[in-house]
A and B are shown apart, each in its own frame.
Chain A
Amino acid sequence: GAGVSQTPSNKVTEKGKYVELRCDPISGHTALYWYRQSLGQGPEFLIYFQGTGAADDSGLPNDRFFAVRPEGSVSTLKIQRTERGDSAVYLCASSFPGAGGSTDTQYFGPGTRLTVL
């Protein structure tokens, strides 16, 4: 596709439920990142994948959060036993290794707005 896509665009769930958020990166991008953004804040890093493996999961807040990228393309962020504090916009980004020593440019998707009631 032309850009990063995320589904669903909106998700409303009840406290305690399980949710899955999907990210489809730009074709050929090897790195995939998950962030979450609360109102009035900057995006906060959660996890990033290089290929199929999680290269850095230091931003996952606790063990209720888990993400996979089994074939090195689409990724799913899974949240168990959702809490009201999990309500936020979950953003996905992807990048392709650039030339030289500069940091790769990350291209963000439109996000999934998660509301936990």
Chain B
Amino acid sequence: GQQVMQIPQYQHVQEGEDFTTYCNSSTTLSNIQWYKQRPGGHPVFLIQLVKSGEVKKQKRLTFQFGEAKKNSSLHITATQTTDVGTYFCARTPREGGSEKLVFGKGTKLTVNP
């Protein structure tokens, strides 16, 4: 299936700075999911976006789904050292139910204390 493209591949910030990662697709997405993987850990589900133009917030994290459902972003306000890890977006071929995930290559975030 079509892979999703993530940029940047790496991001290094000072603690307190903001961070944004972008996920882009050439085709319309039925939904987009975001995962976080700490160093040495496994992917942990953060959120799923389904609706065009959807915006969801989790504390300092803001997730957006584009109006055309071809892109998404994750923004972290005032990063902390606990935000370190790799952030992946993932798509499913179809909407709903049990489906395989197609992951992007991820954005690796490092935070300088």
Q: Give me the interface of A with B, judged by CB distance under 8 Å.
A: 30-31, 33, 35, 40-45, 48, 50, 55-56, 58-59, 91, 95, 97, 100-111
A91-B42 contact in complex given A42-B88, A103-B48, C-beta closer than 8 Å = yes
Q: Give me the interface of B with A, judged by CB distance under 8 Å.
A: 30-31, 33, 41-45, 48, 50, 88, 90, 92, 95-106
The interface residues of chain A lying within 8 Å CB-to-CB of B30 are 103
The interface residues of chain B lying within 8 Å CB-to-CB of A45 are 100-102
A102-B103 contact in complex given A95-B98, A108-B42, C-beta closer than 8 Å = no
Secondary structure call for the A interface: loop
Do A111 and B42 touch across chains, with their CB atoms under 8 A apart? yes
Contact pick for B100, options A33, A101, A105, CB 8 Å: A33
List the 8 closest pairs (A to B, CB-CB), nearest first. A42-B103, A31-B98, A101-B96, A108-B42, A45-B100, A108-B43, A103-B92, A105-B45
Contact pick for B45, options A59, A91, A106, CB 8 Å: A106
Do B96 and A103 touch across chains, with their CB atoms under 8 A apart? yes
A97-B98 contact in complex given A91-B43, A105-B48, A108-B43, C-beta closer than 8 Å = yes
